[in-house]
Amino acid sequence: MNRVYNFSAGPSMLPLPVLERAASELVCYGESGMSVMEMSHRSPDYEAIIQDAEALLRKIMNIPDNYKVLFLQGGASTQFAAVPMNLIKRTGKADYAVSGQFSGKAFKEAQKLGYDVKCIATTKDDNFDHVPTITRDMIRPDAAYLHICFNNTIYGTKYPYIPDTGDVPLVADLSSCIISEPVDVSKFGVIYAGAQKNMAPAGVTLVIVREDLLEYAEEDMPTMLEWKTMADNDSMYNTPPCYSIYMAKLVYDWIIELGGLEEMKKINEKKANLLYDYLDSQDYYIAPVKKDSRSMMNVTFVTGDADLDKKFASEASAKGLKNLKGHRSVGGMRASIYNAMPYEGVEALVAFMKEFAAANPKK
């Protein structure tokens, strides 16, 4: 077995001890005589797994009791539709901040569904090289919610603050930064996240929703997209994505063993600092993101020469540093250094960056 360093933006690395444990009990889980994949979701063995997953996540994220935790399917993209369908009835209109491609998609989806939505802030004219500064006066007081994407995977930006939305519920897509550091859940009305970056294999979507926001679902919306239906059925209105939830549970176990999110944050900061400090110390590579908007999870950089960028990604891959090519819509390079990326992986990347810069002087 020769494991590579996988800098993919998602699906992405999972902790090796988690993978090894999953492999060891894949055919037969404990005393159950079967794989977790084969368990009825209504069996006591499986109910223990999903209940543990929720309890562990509540502990890790310090989720207040008045929030429901849902394990759903369909990815964050499905939530782009579910958010307005579940919430807009509160007042009839909603506000969006557009800080990158996915927040833009969320906004467009609400428009497609025919809702009265307004983009109150965007950094599109600056190529999304920073996140908007959102102040309370920008938000319509009668908005049903304000939607933001907290960490922008493609551009490598993150909100350095939680916007103060007053009485307007804040709805945030945390797909690419969930459980990477502590976050004050009580400041949000709804948090949602696809699992495939920091939490589990693709196929499970987390929704954390304040209970008082469960009362506004459209009458004529798909039942499977109703948060209240899922909350009332403990995420088991139908068969949940059982194995992905089990994998999430193993990841939560791993985080607790590491010391929780405070410790996770220290590890992630150390990795990100190593890379950003190097970027700031030289002028071969350019880091396009403004310093106060830098993501700890997705680090973007370019050489300024598309051919060199291509050569970089290709040579890095040959050395076991995989998936460093930037998103197809922006080019350049992107190193996604989620929870499961070891510090040694970032060291290896920085060493390669130095080597490549020395070997490929710019004209």
Tokens of 118: 């307004």
91 lines the binding site for its own copies (CB under 8 A): no
Tokens of 194: 């696809």
318 lines the binding site for its own copies (CB under 8 A): no
Stretch of residues binding its own copies (CB under 8 A), selected from 62-70, 152-160, 320-328, 347-355 = 320-328
204 lines the binding site for its own copies (CB under 8 A): yes
Binding-site member from 104, 182, 320, 342 for its own copies (CB under 8 A): 320
2 lines the binding site for its own copies (CB under 8 A): yes
Smallest separation, CB 116 to its own copies (Å): 13
20 lines the binding site for its own copies (CB under 8 A): yes
156 lines the binding site for its own copies (CB under 8 A): no
64 lines the binding site for its own copies (CB under 8 A): no
Smallest separation, CB 65 to its own copies (Å): 29
Binding-site member from 156, 169, 189, 194 for its own copies (CB under 8 A): 194
Binding-site member from 58, 73, 231, 269 for its own copies (CB under 8 A): 73
Site string for its own copies, 39-58 (x = CB under 8 A): xxx-x---------------
237 lines the binding site for its own copies (CB under 8 A): yes
Binding-site member from 93, 228, 265, 322 for its own copies (CB under 8 A): 322
228 lines the binding site for its own copies (CB under 8 A): no
Smallest separation, CB 322 to its own copies (Å): 7
